[in-house]
Amino acid sequence: MTKNEELRNAYLDILKDVDDAYLMPHKSDDPTIKGLSGLFLTSVSPDYHSAKNKIMIIGRETKGWKWNEKKDVELIGRENCIDQALKSHSSFFFNQLKKKNSRGKAFHNFTRSVGKKSGTEGLIYSNLFCFALNKTIPTKSPIFEEIINLSERLLFAQIEILKPDIILFMNGFDKSSVAARRQIFPIDGENNVCLNPKNYFDEHGLSSKQLWTFDLKFGDRLIKSYRTYHPSAVSKKAKEGRDFLISLLPDKDTK
Q: Looking at the domain assignment, is residue 79 inside a domain?
A: yes
Q: State the pLDDT at residue 90.
A: 94
CB 230 within 8 A of CB 105: no
Q: State the pLDDT at residue 156.
A: 98
Question: In total, how many domains does the chain have?
Answer: 1
Q: Looking at the domain assignment, is residue 255 inside a domain?
A: no
Q: Looking at the domain assignment, is residue 240 inside a domain?
A: yes
Q: At a CB cut-off of 8 Å and minimum separation 6, what does 10 contact?
A: 157, 160, 161
Domain CATH number, residue 166: 3.40.470
Q: Looking at the domain assignment, is residue 229 inside a domain?
A: yes
Sign of the Cα pseudo-torsion (148, 150, 151, 153, in order): positive
Q: Looking at the domain assignment, is residue 13 inside a domain?
A: yes
Q: State the pLDDT at residue 75.
A: 59
Q: For 76-118, how does the pLDDT look when each residue is reduced to its tens digit (9 = 90+)?
A: 678 888 998 999 999 999 999 998 887 766 899 999 999 999 9
Q: State the pLDDT at residue 242.
A: 95
In the predicted model, residues of the chain with pLDDT beneath 50 are none
Q: State the pLDDT at residue 24.
A: 83
Q: Domain residues for 242?
A: 3-248
Q: Looking at the domain assignment, is residue 46 inside a domain?
A: yes
Q: Looking at the domain assignment, is residue 127 inside a domain?
A: yes
Query: Kind of pairing, strands 212-218 and 55-59?
Result: unpaired
Q: Looking at the domain assignment, is residue 78 inside a domain?
A: yes
